[in-house]
Every structure is written in structure tokens, then in C-alpha cells.
Amino acid sequence: MPVDKQAFLQFAKSLPEDAEIQIRNSVSRAYYAAYHACLEVYKMDDSAEGGVHAKLISGLTTSPDINDKKIGYLLKQLKGLRTVADYHLLVTVSVRDKETSIKQTEKLIEILPK
């Protein structure tokens, strides 16, 4: 059964906060909700350096459209939080990071062009 951006976001919200691994997974899943939401609307900047995530963010942050830029910077912030959650295991990821990730993902999805 296929999943969509809302499934990632709902999963991020549903994870309990009694262990850091659950908080880390919430931050990561919230980012992927935002990433997949953007992919439904935007194409990647194939001329940009980096992988698919960097190309999408670059295309948004260099867009002349102010709303696209805003979305790009939100996605960049969320990617930064996800990178810490997934790769920087000696850095504590807090409930506040989870809350920020979820709130920023909801904001991003809300301002996406329809």
C-alpha cells in the first residue's frame, strides 16, 4: 500500500517522546513529509551541485519567487535538523527539535502552491 506525505507527518507526530531514538525518528519523518510534499509541486535544479535533496533546496532558494524561497529555506532548516537526528549521534535531539520539525513541516505544506 503506497504512503504519502501525510503518512510521514502523522507517524512523526505519533511517536512517543520517552526515548531519544523516537524523537530522532520523528524529526527525520517530518523532514521526509516536507521533502515529498515539495516533490509533488517542484522539480529539482539539475544544474545544482549535490544530491537530489540539495538540488531541490537549491532550486527553491534561488527562485525569484519569494514564496518558493521561503519554502526552500524551511526545507533547508528541516534537512539540517534531520541530518543531526540521523547522523550526529553524540548530539542530543530534544522534544523541542521534534516540535520544531513538525511545526515547520506543517507550515511548509500549508504555504505550498496548490
Which CATH code is given to the segment(s) 5-111? Answer: 1.20.120
Query: Would you say residue 1 has pLDDT above 80?
Result: no
* Choice between 45 and 58, residue whose per-residue pLDDT is larger: 58
Residues 3-24 pLDDT 10s: 889 999 999 999 999 999 999 9
Domain coordinates in residue numbering, the chain: 5-111
pLDDT of residue 47: 86
Residue of 13, 9, 26 whose CA lies nearest to 109: 9
What is d(CA 53, CA 75) in angstroms, rounded to the nearest whole number? 9
